[in-house]
Structure 1
Amino acid sequence: MDETSLRVDRRGDRVIAMLSRPDARNAISQRMIDELHALCGELEDDPRTLILAGADGVFASGADIAELRSRGAADARRGINTHAFARIAALPMPVIAAVDGYALGGGAELAYAADIRIGTPRLRIGNPETGLGIIAAAGATWRLPAIVGEARAAEMLLTGRILDGAEAREWGLVSSLHDPADLLAAADALADRIAANDPLATRHTKTALHAAAHPAAELELQAELFESAEKERRMTDFLERRGR
């Protein structure tokens, strides 16, 4: 068993979690899932932006096939990866996936659970599950259509097509591409921009993005913000800078 599957760097306004199983190309094991749950618990109690990345030029090559092969129907119904990725998606503050190299199967589904995805030209992302006799059941069938559209999601999931970095950017699966050496710095720059904004407004914006009922959800969230001292302070500062 790995000593640890995540290397976690905790900073004041963000946490960087590096998937690290070098002997398995960062394949997602039960141990990694357990550690992701523990990290989610920490970020639910102390909300900060989360940056997810992979060590050694690979995000995550997929689920651990050796573990997956031995799982049966009861394991499928437990939704081992599904519940962990749903928890990541529901974190109070934004999640940024910095995706380099392979992000396949469960690795792709982990990236889909992020709010923002950035990549590199050598990115290879997709869901080859049907070639292994299973389906992508940890979020791809509902998150991927929301990201790239129904037609493109169907092509990826039904054919097992793997996108390279340029295709992923063209399809809107990642918002930008960076040299591998610059990828974490680009993720940090996004986290810096997030940190410059009001944390409560950021959290409410994320809630609104995931809300099932529009526009009622946005109006209630906005109502709370309209009464906040931070809104008053920031708008006063803005007006003073404009000389009004």
Structure 2
Amino acid sequence: MTEPLLVERGDDRVVATLSRPGVRNAIDQATIDALHALCAELEQTPRTLILAGAGGVFASGADIAQLRERRADDARRGINTRAFERVSALPMPVIAAIDGYALGGGAELAYAADLRIGTPRLRIGNPETGLGIIAAAGATWRLPRLVGDARAAELLLTGRILDADEALAWGLVSSLHDPDDLLPAAHALADRIATADPLATRHTKTALRAEPQAHPELELELQAELFDSPEKERRMTAFLNRRRR
């Protein structure tokens, strides 16, 4: 049996590829378990995470065969929700590299990322109501923050699937790349992130993810910590020295 999540580890980043080609990378319990294990690792040793899918598909959704058998108690456990919350809360940025379908739970995993890029064959949306359920793993609260209330309502209430150009125009992805260039583009983002101070990057993510009522006091506390950091002193001194040359 192949692993549902293929993980490549580097010093400053990890690439995790959803790999269940027979079911278009549908997210089953084994995938959720693997995501939890990876999150535990990245919580202890923070690195940028790149999420991708094998075989020209990001993730076609939750595994319907398993989902059909779940009952009320399973819903209350938030099987996918808890895993995606953990992905979203990782200390360092998460980049979703989306090729092909990202539907249902696959879309919700992408929404949990900090950065999303795609290919021209991207198709993303939430058709859950057509299956007699709701998008309960983050779409109802993350999607409005990403595309606005009106567009989120349209997607979630109609089950509309966006193509790549629409997803780009709506700001759901920030750029489109040929399939062969998708992972290199994700690595280019990770390269830029790697040049910055990791603590400043982590604090920026914390501020971005905070609720509106936390601002501006949250930023001021985070900035206070950074103002006293040796890395801030080192980087600003290096900048001033370069400018004097």
Q: Taking structure 1 as the reference length, what is the TM-score of the superposition? A: 0.99
Deviations 1:189-226 (A, max 9, x none): 00000000000000000001112200011100000000
Query: Are 2:196 and 1:216 aligned?
Result: no
Once the 2 structures are TM-superposed, how far is the Cα of residue 4 of structure 1 from its aligned partner? Answer: 1.1
- d(CA) in 2 for partners of 1:33 and 1:3? 15
Match of 1:167 in 2: 166
Deviations 1:10-40 (A, max 9, x none): 0110000000001110000000000000000
Query: Are 2:51 and 1:52 aligned?
Result: yes
- d(CA) in 2 for partners of 1:3 and 1:36? 15
Runs of 4+ in structure 1 displaced over 4 angstroms? none
Any idea what SS the aligned residue of 1:7 has? strand
- d(CA) in 2 for partners of 1:32 and 1:187? 22
Amino acid at match of 1:231: K
Amino acid at match of 2:55: D
- d(CA) in 2 for partners of 1:108 and 1:210? 18
Match of 1:226 in 2: 227
- d(CA) in 2 for partners of 1:121 and 1:163? 11
Any idea what SS the aligned residue of 1:52 has? strand
Once the 2 structures are TM-superposed, how far is the Cα of residue 3 of structure 1 from its aligned partner? Answer: 3.3
Any idea what SS the aligned residue of 1:117 has? strand
Query: Are 2:12 and 1:13 aligned?
Result: yes
Identity over the aligned pairs, expressed in percent? 79
Deviations 1:102-159 (A, max 9, x none): 0000000000000000001100000000000000000000000000000000000000
Q: How does 1:16-95 map to 2 (within 5 A)?
A: 16-95=15-94
Amino acid at match of 1:15: V
Amino acid at match of 1:77: R
Deviations 1:47-88 (A, max 9, x none): 000000000000000000000000000000000000000000
Match of 1:182 in 2: 181
Match of 2:104 in 1: 105
Name whichever of 206-215 and 96-105 sits farther off.
206-215
Any idea what SS the aligned residue of 1:57 has? coil
Any idea what SS the aligned residue of 2:117 has? strand
- d(CA) in 2 for partners of 1:3 and 1:95? 24
**CA RMSD between the two structures:** 0.7
Structure 1 unmatched ranges of 5 or more: none
- d(CA) in 2 for partners of 1:21 and 1:183? 19
Match of 2:242 in 1: 241
Match of 1:119 in 2: 118
State the number of aligned residues.
243
